[in-house]
Amino acid sequence: MVSLSTSPSIHLTRLPNASTQVGVYRNGQCRRSTSFGVRSEHLPSTSTSPCQDGPGRRQLIAIGATVAPWLFLSQQSSTFAAESKKGFLSVTDKKDGYTFLYPFGWQEVVVEGQDKVFKDVIEPLESVSVNLIPTVKQDIRDFGPPQEVAETLIKRVLASSSQKTKLIEATEHDVDGKAYYTIEFIAQAPTYTRHALSTVCIGNGKFYTVTTGSNERRWDKMKDRLKTVVESFQIFNV
């Protein structure tokens, strides 16, 4: 497990409740949604990386620090588009080089620090968000094995420090020679518990994170759809 005391300092940028962030629907209606930010400071040569020791594993990382009124690209098919599936819509970002599926009925929202967000109108914890930041790394494995990366992200990025978290599983899979880590975890807040899935990977000089989830009480109903979301996420060269 990564020792947080010996890892590079990781700073969370968020509102008082990291599980809620103001989001604005494109039609002007306001809702709340997940948002987070983190940066890992560049350290001298004697320091350790976020996930694995070694002088070759130090770099600057900044996640979700910029506020931008993202307008989502139109959903369009291409050779890189996620494979169509009943009950899902596909979205392809040709500028940043990624594609994925999301459940039909979820709406596009604008959330501070996130590149793209889609969420359910009635169930606010049911959403998918995509975040990307620059990196000089070439492979997610440069940060360490899945378990170590997952523990660091959950404690520092994917959940508020006030929430109780539990890592359920962290796995690795390859798509066209590109490594992806998928993380399943639970984040418990005073008024709700969210069961979440995240997939992270590196390409195009970016660290990609896609996260989806639901209220724990709806997990059994939603888990297959949420797994389809993270499993459909793929990056391509741009």
Does residue 192 lie in a domain region? Answer: yes
Enter the tokens of residue 87.
Answer: 């009950």
Does residue 3 lie in a domain region? Answer: no
Q: What is the pLDDT of residue 83?
A: 57
Query: Is 51 a residue whose pLDDT tops 80?
Result: no
Band (85; pLDDT cuts 50, 70, 90): confident
Does residue 2 lie in a domain region? Answer: no
Does residue 150 lie in a domain region? Answer: yes
**pLDDT tens, residue by residue, 125-175:** 999 999 999 999 999 999 999 999 999 999 988 998 899 999 999 999 999
Of the candidates 73, 126, 123, which has an alpha carbon nearest to the alpha carbon of residue 100? 73
Does residue 91 lie in a domain region? Answer: yes
- Cα(208)–Cα(192) distance, rounded to whole angstroms? 27
Domain count, the chain: 1
Domain region containing 216:
10-235
What is the reported pTM? 0.67
- Cα(75)–Cα(237) distance, rounded to whole angstroms? 19
Does residue 152 lie in a domain region? Answer: yes
Does residue 88 lie in a domain region? Answer: yes
Question: Phi/psi at 65 (nearest 5 deg)?
Answer: -95, -10
Q: Would you list the DSSP string of 133-151? A: EE-S-S-GGGG--HHHHHH
| CATH code: domain of residue 115 | 3.40.1000.10
Alpha-carbon Rg of the chain, whole angstroms? 17
Does residue 221 lie in a domain region? Answer: yes
